[in-house]
Amino acid sequence: MNKAKWIWHPGSFELYHSMLLHNRRTTTRTYEGGVRKSVYYYPMWRIDSPQHNVILEKKATIDKPEVLKFYANTDTANMIVDGMAYRVGSEVALDVGEHTVCLQGFKKDGFPAFYIEGDTFKTDRTYIVGGADDKRGRHAGYSDYYTDPSDNPEIFKFSYKKMHPVSKKDINGGTLFDFGKEVFGKITLENLDGKERFIALGESIEEALDVEYCQIGLNASGKSFVSDPVAFRYIFVPELTEVQASLDFEYLPLENKGAFKCDNELVNRLWDVCAYTMLLNSREGFFDGIKRDRWVWAGDAYQTNFVNYYLANDPDIVRRTIRILRGRDPITKHINTICDYTFLWIASVWDYYLHSGDSDFVKDIYPEILDMWAFIEPRLDDDGMYKRQPDDWVFIDWSTFDSNGPMCAEQMLLARAYECTAKYATLVGDSAWEKHASERFEYIATEVNKHYWNEEKGAFIDDYKSGKNNVTRHANIFAILFDYTSEERKERIIKNVIFNDKITKITTPYFEFYELDAMCQIGSYEYMTNMLDSYWGEMLRLGATTIWEEFDPTKKGIEHYEMYGGKYEKSLCHAWGASPIYLLGKYALGVKPTSAGYKTYEVKPNLMTFGKIEGIVPTPCGNVFVSFDGGKCEVVSEIDGGTLVLRDKKYPIIKGEKLTVNL
């Protein structure tokens, strides 16, 4: 029997923890007299609070007696059973028949949550929002991790382990500690001299020793000191040499169910580094980077979701991230203030459904998707396309675009959002929105091919109205990835854009995710493996223990740490760089769902440039094991519905039986 879960107003858990995490960011400032301090950094968008009062209710008929025991995280709460009110801690016996249970609560400084031990009336998502709430009729919020009456949903469930530095060095009149790799947690310093002092932290040794310009630091005082959780590899304590340091490493205990190995040791090491990067950035939601922002950005999360599907395959963190990003009504700005991030947020729900089969979540979030469209559509221009509004940030990537008018790449993301919304509408049975979204998708896709394709350049241009005919890689990659143009045009894009060194190269792992996904779709696997070596591999050769936010191989020394006008602003542990896990799982091991929740799936392994590959792809109901050396392929699956595809021949995969094919 499934255990009861703590339940709350839908989204309140996520909004509460989002409120806390988005207000934890710090940075360093120099004050009058040259004093360095670590200070609070204000968020870049509106941070919503949770619902402070809620009614959740359920009506059901039981065919055997049951006893309910009522828990809540606030004393300002009632359990009303068939019109009779009971306090927190009460036990109520129910006879056979129809009953109604109503949970009411208020919490000023947090959010009310409830837990009932029982059978039919145990707390889970089947409770719905009642009262005069604007979300009336929607299912209760819950988390897979809060299933015991002793749990407190207002305390996020992290795990901890003690760590010590791998080396300690007297330098520049102080002490430098090296923890061997990027870490996150609470630092303990002992044997301080009691004076208030600034402690410098760094992802690189150069940053830690540069007390004047380091991005993150600590305001320490007393003989011993314990910090708030921070990210770093190095700690520099000025003026003291007898000090001692340790760390309570803080992490979310996600299991790495996915695995990959090949005969290229650099790629094997890269897979491990990507997995560790993911671990550090998997927390209340998927963070962008663990040192600087520690915020949830929709573009970063969109990609990190895919990595999760091939690594931990944890649905709870994806659902949390989607709700954190959505926030509360009324919607007044795009998600993270970035219009393309709003479109990616809408699309991310479809990818979650495809990999999880969780139709309940789609139905729960669907009204909030429609509310998002109510914000988007009035901002479209007279042609029905997206043009930047005065308070919008058009991002796409850290690159130079012709972006004054309606950008091509932005229209492709808008089309993708409509395409996915039509699928949601089909799933929930909303015929009006299914028709509307389908028509809007077809219209935008047609208009993009009509206006943005430049025959002379054999590519999509950024903006057809400006007259500049500027070509960047981004829209052209989307055209391939989302299948928004003809096969003939795709071939020309590959020649005129992808393999054209005159077109500005991509320097962020963020957009390499899209480029390599598109190239693998068209079978250009050598392109991907070359990038694994020359791009990600070069980071490792430079000493990276986690994947960087941006990488330009033409830079030298500490130039690699510069970004946003600061010497050490660049994040050296950025979740959007972990995409090789997804790419190797989907295209080398070749495992992907062909219907929602892996009800049916395909295994189409490809050696790429490797001599042998083997690994595991996790699914919602079990793992798929694949081994391939070009001569023999073996597949063992814990789920039904699979098909092995080798050299255009298909072989059924039987659950629990080893399938061996010799070529």
Per residue in 313-368, pLDDT tens? 999 999 999 999 999 999 999 999 999 999 999 999 999 999 999 999 999 999 99
- pLDDT at residue 390, rounded to an integer: 85
Kindly report, residue by residue over 622-654, the tens digit of the pLDDT: 999 999 999 999 999 999 999 999 998 999 999
Residue 627 near residue 614 (C-beta atoms within 8 A): yes
7-142 falls under which CATH superfamily? Galactose-binding domain-like (2.60.120.260)
pLDDT, tens digit (0-9, with 9 covering 90-100), for 391-416: 889 999 999 999 888 999 999 999 99
Mean pLDDT value across the chain: 96
The model's confidence at residue 1, banded by pLDDT at 50, 70 and 90, is: low
| Residues whose CB is less than 8 angstroms from the CB of residue 387 and which lie 6 or more positions away in sequence, other chains included | 380, 381, 405, 406
Indicate the fold that domain 159-251 takes in CATH.
Answer: Jelly Rolls (2.60.120)
Cis? peptide before 378, omega within 30° of 0: no
**Which helix (H) or strand (E) is 186 found in, with range?**
strand 174-190
Enclosing H/E stretch for 156: none
C-alpha 54 chain-centroid distance:
28
Q: Give the residue from 224, 210, 158 showing the smallest Cα distance to 185.
A: 158
CA-CA distance, 623 to 194, in Å (whole number)?
54
Percent of the chain at pLDDT exceeding 70: 100
Could you tell me the residue ranges of all domains in the chain? 7-142, 159-251, 253-318+507-556+577-588, 327-504, 592-662
C-alpha 411/C-alpha 273 separation (Å) is: 35
Q: Is beta strand 453-454 parallel, antiparallel or unpaired with respect to 459-460?
A: antiparallel
Give the architecture (CATH level 2) of 327-504.
Alpha/alpha barrel (1.50)
Distance from C-alpha of 524 to C-alpha of 212, rounded to nearest angstrom: 47
- For residue 456, the model assigns a pLDDT of 97
What is the C-alpha separation between 385 and 339, in angstroms, rounded? 12
Residue 472 DSSP label: -
User: What is the residue type of 208?
Assistant: A
CB proximity list for 652: less than 8 A, separation 6 or greater:
642, 643, 644
Neighbours of 53 (CB within 10 A): 17
Say whether pTM exceeds 0.85. yes
Say whether pLDDT at 215 is over 90: yes
Q: What is the pLDDT of residues 464-517, one digit of tens each?
A: 999 999 999 999 999 999 999 999 999 999 999 999 999 999 999 999 999 999
Amino acid at 8: W
Q: Give the burial class of 602: count Cβ atoms within 10 A of its Cβ; 0-12 exposed, 13-18 middle, 19 or more buried.
A: middle
Counting beta carbons within 10 angstroms of the beta carbon of residue 291, is it exposed (0 to 12), middle (13 to 18) or buried (19 or more)?
buried
* Structure-token pair, residue 90: 């009460």
Distances in whole angstroms, Cα of residue 21 to Cα of each of 262, 300, 322? 38, 16, 15
Query: Scanning the structure block, which residue is given the tokens 């969109």?
Result: 302
What integer pLDDT is reported at residue 311 of this predicted model?
Answer: 98
Sign for the CA dihedral angle at 182, 310, 418, 15 comes to negative
**Tens digit of pLDDT for each residue in 224-272?**
999 999 999 999 999 999 999 999 999 999 999 999 999 999 999 999 9
Measured distance CA(588)–CA(258) in Å, rounded = 13
Taking the C-alpha atoms of residue 19 and residue 156, their distance in angstroms, rounded to an integer, is 13
Comparing C-alpha atoms, which of 648, 642, 638, 646 is closest to residue 662?
Answer: 646
Asked whether residue 205 carries a pLDDT value surpassing 90, the answer given is yes
Average pLDDT over residues 431-451: 98
Residue with tokens 């669907």: 366
Are domains 7-142 and 159-251 of this chain identical in fold?
yes
CA 594 vs. chain centroid, Å, equals 22
Neighbours of 65 (CB within 10 A): 11
CA distance 187 to 208: 15
| Phi, psi (degrees; rounded to nearest 5) at 498 | -60, -45
Measured CA to CA, the distance from residue 128 to residue 147 in angstroms comes to 18
Buried residues in 448-487 as b, exposed as e (16+ CB within 10 A) = beebbbeeebbbbbbbbeeeeebbbbbbbbbbbbbebbee
> Going by C-beta distance under 8 Å and a sequence separation of 6 or more, which residues neighbour residue 40?
23, 25, 26
The confidence score (pLDDT) of residue 411 equals: 97
Question: Exposed, middle or buried, 522 (CB in 10 Å: 0-12/13-18/19+)?
Answer: middle
Q: In angstroms, rounded to a whole number, what is the distance separating the alpha carbons of residues 534 and 552? A: 11
Per-residue confidence (pLDDT) for residue 536, from 0 to 100: 97
What distance in Å separates the CA atoms of residue 607 and residue 615, rounded to the nearest whole number? 12
- Who's near 71: CB < 8 A, 6+ residues apart? 88, 89, 114, 115, 116, 117, 149
SS3 for 227-249 is: CCCEEEEEEEECCCCCCEEEEEE
Q: Which CATH architecture has domain 592-662?
A: Sandwich (2.60)
